[in-house]
Amino acid sequence: MGPGRPVLIEGPNLGAYVTLLKAVGSWVMLAGHPSPSDVALSLEPRRGPGACLGTEVVARLTGPSGKTTVRVGTGASVAGRGPPPAPPL
C-alpha cells in the first residue's frame, strides 16, 4: 500500500470507519464498493503489543491469483510516550 493506490476502507462501525479515513484519507485514493482496490483496511478489536485502545489496523490484500493475505498492524511507525492525544474539539 502506498500513496495514490486505491484503498477500500471498511469498519465494523461508523467510528472505526471515520478513524481510518482520518488516518489514511489524505495520502491514498479511496475506492468504493465495488471499485477495485489494492487493499481493504479495517479497524478491528484486538489485544496485544500493536493494539491502541484495544484495536488494530488489519489489511486484506487480494493478489492476482485471488488469494487473500491478511496483515495485522504492528503499531505506530513513530513511537509515542504516555497516553494517546486528546481528540480535537
Question: Is residue 51 one of the residues assigned to a domain?
Answer: yes
Residue 77 lies in a domain: no
- pLDDT value at position 86? 59
Domain range enclosing 66: 6-72
Q: What is the rounded distance in angstroms from the CA atom of residue 11 to the CA atom of residue 17?
A: 5
User: Looking at the 3D structure of the chain, how many domains does it have?
Assistant: 1
Does the residue 57 lie in any domain?
yes
What's the mean pLDDT when you consider all of the chain?
Answer: 75
What does pTM read for this prediction? 0.64
Whether residue 84 lies inside any domain: the answer is no
What are 11-66's pLDDT values in tens digits?
778 888 888 888 777 777 777 766 677 788 888 888 877 777 788 888 888 888 88
| CA–CA gap between residue 16 and residue 12 (Å, rounded) | 7
pLDDT above 70: residue 75: no
Q: Does 82 map to a domain?
A: no
pLDDT at 18: 84
Instruction: Look at the chain and count its residues.
Output: 89
pLDDT band, residue 8 (cuts 50/70/90): confident
